[in-house]
């Protein structure tokens, strides 16, 4: 007569009821070591992040033969190149071929500037590349009455921004298809951003027969009464409600 088997010695497993040691059923904690002659696993190098494109426009200016504008040995906040009026269209066409676009155009009057400038007026074009974010300003120096070539044949965006410069500064753009005022009324004489434009208020008679009296117009803007527009502050025409707090203190702004 045999005694009962120790439970830890063996147990029946599977359909055949074969004996299996309880020690062999536990998972081995020893890792599988590679074969002696097997090659070492290859390590893939980490990907190198692509560097951002340079925004330096010095090579571009050198390629186009442009000189940086800093006559007083003080560099501008943004790269600015001086372009003669007769070369402006050629430079603009080369920049557009490289993917640049026109963002803005402004006029400047240096009549009252403390430091001497090459000429009284300057037209400043803001040129920008939408992909690598390079930016370059083109400055064109002009005498009073001298025209600047329009960049409308190169960038259609020059249409309204050159009209605005003409309206406020009086600089004419040769070759512009529709050089008209865009902000001030046609009846207004002069160009408001010129240094010699009289500071003050002058009554203006518009083409449609409206007469603009500065004092009445200002009263409407200050909120003291309806003025010419029929408005009083934020109220529509005919409204009687008082605004609390008042739109403007008694007697106008302090």
Ordered domains of the chain (ranges, CATH): 58-174 (3.30.460.80), 213-254 (no CATH)
Does the pLDDT value for residue 21 go beyond 50? no
- Answer with the residue of higher pLDDT: 155 or 73: 155
- Answer with the residue of higher pLDDT: 11 or 51: 51
Edge-to-edge order in the sheet of strand 101-109 = 67-68, 80-82, 135-142, 121-128, 101-109
What is the model's pTM?
0.62
Per-residue pLDDT, 77:
75
Distant-in-sequence, close-in-space partners of 38: CB < 8 Å, separation ≥ 6: none
Per-residue pLDDT, 36:
61
State mean pLDDT over 130-146: 95
Confidence of residue 162 (pLDDT cuts 50, 70, 90): very high
Residue 85 burial (CB count, 10 A): 15
Q: For strands 67-68 and 101-109, give the pairing.
A: unpaired
Per-residue pLDDT, 153:
97
Per-residue pLDDT, 18:
45
Per-residue pLDDT, 122:
97
- Answer with the residue of higher pLDDT: 30 or 201: 201
Per-residue pLDDT, 198:
77
Instruction: List, for residues 195-246, the tens digit of each pLDDT value.
Output: 988 776 666 655 555 666 666 655 555 555 554 444 444 444 444 555 444 4
Does the pLDDT value for residue 67 go beyond 80? yes
Cα–Cα distance measured from residue 241 to residue 146, given in angstroms and rounded to the nearest whole number: 55
Nearest to 91 by CA among 155, 147, 36: 155
Does the pLDDT value for residue 247 go beyond 90? no
Does the pLDDT value for residue 169 go beyond 90? yes
Per-residue pLDDT, 66:
92
Hey, CA dihedral for 21, 25, 30, 31, is it positive or negative?
Answer: positive
């Amino acid at each position: 007569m045999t005694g009962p088997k120790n439970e830890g010695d063996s147990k029946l497993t599977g359909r055949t009821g074969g004996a299996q040691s309880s020690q062999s059923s536990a998972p081995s904690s020893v890792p599988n070591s590679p074969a002696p002659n097997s090659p070492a696993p290859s390590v893939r190098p980490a990907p190198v992040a692509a560097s951002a494109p340079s925004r330096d426009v010095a090579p571009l200016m050198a390629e186009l033969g442009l000189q940086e504008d800093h006559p007083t040995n003080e560099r501008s906040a943004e790269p600015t190149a001086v372009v003669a009026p007769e070369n402006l269209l050629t430079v603009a066409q080369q920049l557009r071929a490289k993917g640049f676009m026109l963002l803005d155009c402004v006029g400047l009057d240096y009549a009252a500037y403390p430091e001497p400038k090459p000429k009284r007026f300057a037209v400043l074009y803001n040129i920008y590349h939408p992909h690598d974010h390079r930016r370059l300003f083109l400055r064109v120096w002009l005498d009073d009455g001298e025209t600047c070539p329009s960049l409308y044949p190169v960038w259609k965006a020059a249409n309204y921004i050159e009209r605005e410069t003409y309206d406020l500064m009086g600089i004419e753009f040769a070759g512009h298809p529709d050089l008209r005022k865009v902000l001030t009324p046609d009846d207004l004489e002069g160009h408001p951003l010129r240094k010699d434009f009289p500071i003050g208020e002058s009554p203006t008679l518009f083409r449609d027969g409206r007469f603009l009296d500065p004092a009445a117009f200002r009263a409407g803007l200050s909120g003291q009464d309806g003025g010419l527009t029929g408005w009083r502050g934020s109220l529509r025409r005919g409204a009687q409600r008082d605004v609390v707090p008042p739109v403007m203190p008694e007697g106008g702004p302090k």
